[in-house]
C-alpha cells in the first residue's frame, strides 16, 4: 500500500503571501493544497506543521473522506478559518494525488463535465465614475461576460474594492491600514455608478457589486430595492453573515439576488441561508471551507434549494485553489459563476497552472490531478513578509466591518 511519506509547508510571497502544502507518497506522487488565510498565514502554517503533518505521515493517501473526518471530528474543536483552511489544504492535495494516480483530471473524478466552460466575473474599479466606466469597457473588450463594479466613495478615503495598481491587493501594509467609512455617503453614491454602468453599456452582460459586509439588514434592503432596475447578477455580502437570520429581512424587501459565504468555513455556517433560501449564490471556497470534499457537500445542499455557486476567487487564493475551484465548477450541476482576478506574474512563476481563460470563461487543465506545479526554487526568491488586511472605522472613530 502506498502511504504518505512527507508533507511540507511552504510559505512564500511571490506577488503576495501564499501558504502551500505539498504531500508526497511512498510511490513518489505529489499533491498540492492551498493553505492561505489572508493576514493570518503563519497561524495556518503552524497548525499544519505542529498538529496535522505529524498525523498525516504513514496514512493511506487514497482515503480522502476518512482523512477529512479524522482531521475534522478527530480534533474535537470544530470549524473556524484556521482549522478549515488546514483541512482544506490536506484534502485538496489528496484529490490532486488521486487524480495523478488515476491518470485523470480532478473534474473527471467528480463525475465529469456538466458544462463546456466556467463563466467568470472580473473586477472593474475606479477612483471616480469615469475611470470605473473605462475599466468596465476594458474588461468587456477582453471578452468578459460578467463584471463587478466598485468605485471610491467621494470624500471618504479607502473604499473597499478600488484597485491602486494593476493588481487589486487590500493586504498591502505591515500593520493594518485604518480606513474611514460612511454608510450614508455609500448609500447615496453606489447606486448612481451602477446606474451609470447600465446607462453606458446596457444589459447584455452581467453586473455584480460587493457591499463587503458594510450595511445593516435594513440598509441592505434599501440598497437592494434602490438598484433593482440595474438588474444585478448579485449584491454580495450586504451584511455580515454570522447572523444568518438577518438575511430574511433583506429578502422580504428586494428581488436583487444575494451572494454570501467567502468568509464562512463550513456547511453549518450556510445551512439556514441555503435551506431557507435566504440567498441565491453561495461563495464558500475550496481553501477556506474544508477543501473539495466539504465544498462539494455544501454545493449539493445548495442544489437541493436552487442556490447556485459563486466561489470566491480573489488573488489571495492561490492558483491551486483556482484550479481546484474550476474542476468543481465545471462538474457541479448548480454552478453559477466563478470570481476571477489574474494573479501577479511573480505568482505565476511559482505556480505553473494549466487553467486557461478564453471568451470570458475558464477551462480546467486536462492534466492528471489539479494541473498545477509548485516551483520551490523560484519561491525561495520571494520570502514571506507580514501583511494585514485593513480595518474600517466610521467617521466618529468606532470600528466598522471592513
Ligand atoms: C472578493 C473579496 C475579497 C476579500 C479578500 C480578503 O469578493 O473578492 O471580498 O476582495 O476582501 O479576499 O482576503
Ligand atoms: Mg467579496
* Domain residue ranges of the chain, discontinuous segments joined by +: 4-105, 109-369
Yes or no: is domain 4-105 CATH 3.40.50.970?
A: no
Q: How many CA atoms lie within 13 A of 305 on its CB side?
A: 19
- pLDDT band for position 271 (50/70/90)? very high
| Ligand that lies nearest to the alpha carbon of residue 17, given by its number in the listed order | 1
Greater pLDDT, 158 or 336: 336
**Closest protein CA for atom 5 of ligand 1:** 314
Helix (H) or strand (E) holding 339: strand 338-339
Task: Spot the catalytic one: 206, 209, 212, 343.
Answer: 212
Model confidence pLDDT, tens digit, residues 110-167: 999 999 999 999 999 999 999 999 999 999 999 999 999 999 999 888 789 998 877 7
| Contact assessment for residue 272 and residue 245, using Cβ atoms and an 8 Å cutoff | yes
Q: Is the fold of 4-105 the same as that of 109-369?
A: no
Contact 125 CB / ligand 1 (< 6 Å) = no
More confident residue, 168 or 220: 220
Looking at residue 168, what is its pLDDT? 79
Nearest-angstrom CA–CA distance, 294 and 291: 6
Q: Ligand 2 centroid vs 258 CA: distance in angstroms?
A: 12
Q: What is the pLDDT of residues 296-330, one digit of tens each?
A: 999 999 999 999 999 999 999 999 999 999 999 99
CA of 219 to the centre of ligand 2 (A): 18
User: For the residues of 6-72, what is the DSSP string, one character each?
Assistant: EEEEEEE-SSS-EEEEEEEETTS-EEEEE---TT-HHHHHHHIIIIIHHHHTTS-TT-HHHHHHHHH
| Contact 169 CB / ligand 1 (< 6 Å) | no
What's the Cα-to-Cα distance from 278 to each of 155, 229, 235, 281, 370, rounded to whole Å? 34, 21, 13, 10, 33
Ligand 1, atom 13: closest residue by C-alpha? 38
Mean pLDDT of 71-76: 97
pTM recorded for the entire structure = 0.98
Angstrom distance (rounded) from CA 244 to CA 270: 7
Gap from CA of 210 to ligand 2 centroid (Å): 6
Instruction: Determine which one of 72, 107, 144, 160 is catalytic.
Output: 160
- Per-residue pLDDT tens for 197-253? 999 999 999 999 999 999 999 999 999 999 999 999 999 999 999 999 999 999 999
pLDDT of residue 268: 98
Q: Determine whether 47 is an active site residue.
A: no
CATH code 3.40.50.150 for 109-369: no
Q: Is 76 marked active-site?
A: no
237 Cα–ligand 2 center, Å: 7
Q: Percentage of residues in the chain with pLDDT exceeding 70?
A: 100
Amino acid at each position: 500500500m502506498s502511504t504518505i511519506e512527507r508533507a511540507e509547508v511552504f510559505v512564500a510571497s511571490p506577488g503576495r503571501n501564499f501558504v502551500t502544502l505539498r504531500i508526497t507518497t511512498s510511490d513518489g506522487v505529489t499533491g498540492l493544497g492551498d493553505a492561505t488565510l489572508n493576514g493570518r498565514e503563519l497561524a495556518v502554517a503552524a497548525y499544519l506543521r505542529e498538529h496535522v503533518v505529524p498525523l498525516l505521515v504513514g496514512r493511506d493517501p487514497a482515503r480522502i473522506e476518512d482523512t477529512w473526518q479524522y482531521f475534522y471530528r478527530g480534533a474535537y474543536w470544530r470549524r473556524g478559518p484556521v482549522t478549515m483552511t488546514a483541512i482544506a489544504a490536506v484534502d485538496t492535495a489528496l484529490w490532486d494525488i488521486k487524480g495523478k494516480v488515476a491518470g485523470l483530471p480532478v473534474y473527471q473524478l467528480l463525475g465529469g463535465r456538466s458544462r463546456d466552460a466556467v463563466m467568470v466575473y472580473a473586477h472593474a474599479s475606479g477612483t471616480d465614475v469615469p475611470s470605473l466606466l473605462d475599466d468596465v469597457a476594458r474588461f468587456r473588450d477582453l471578452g468578459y461576460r460578467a463584471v463587478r463594479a466598485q468605485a471610491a466613495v467621494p470624500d471618504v478615503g479607502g473604499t473597499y474594492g478600488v484597485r491602486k495598481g494593476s493588481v487589486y491587493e487590500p493586504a498591502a501594509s505591515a500593520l493594518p491600514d485604518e480606513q474611514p467609512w460612511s454608510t450614508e455617503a455609500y448609500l447615496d453614491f453606489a447606486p448612481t455608478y451602477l446606474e451609470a454602468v447600465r446607462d453606458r453599456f446596457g444589459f447584455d452582460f452581467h453586473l455584480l457589486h460587493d457591499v463587503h459586509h458594510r450595511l445593516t439588514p435594513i440598509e441592505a434592503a434599501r440598497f437592494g430595492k434602490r438598484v433593482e432596475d440595474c438588474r444585478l447578477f448579485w449584491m454580495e455580502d450586504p451584511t455580515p453573515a454570522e447572523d444568518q437570520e438577518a438575511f430574511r429581512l433583506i429578502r422580504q424587501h428586494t428581488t436583487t439576488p444575494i451572494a454570501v459565504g467567502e468568509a464562512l468555513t463550513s456547511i453549518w455556517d450556510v445551512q439556514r441561508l441555503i435551506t431557507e433560501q435566504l440567498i441565491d449564490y453561495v461563495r464558500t471556497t475550496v481553501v477556506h471551507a474544508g477543501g473539495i470534499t466539504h465544498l462539494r457537500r455544501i454545493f449539493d445542499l445548495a442544489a437541493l434549494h436552487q442556490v447556485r455557486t459563486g466561489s470566491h476567487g480573489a488573488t489571495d487564493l492561490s492558483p491551486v485553489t483556482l484550479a481546484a475551484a474550476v474542476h468543481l465548477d465545471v462538474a457541479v450541476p448548480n454552478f453559477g459563476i466563478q470570481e476571477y482576478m489574474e494573479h501577479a506574474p511573480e505568482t505565476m512563476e511559482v505556480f505553473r497552472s494549466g487553467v486557461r481563460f478564453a471568451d470570458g470563461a475558464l477551462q480546467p487543465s486536462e492534466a492528471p490531478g489539479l494541473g498545477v506545479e509548485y516551483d520551490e526554487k523560484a519561491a525561495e526568491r520571494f520570502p514571506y513578509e507580514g501583511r494585514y488586511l485593513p480595518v474600517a472605522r466610521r467617521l466618529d472613530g468606532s470600528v466598522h466591518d471592513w
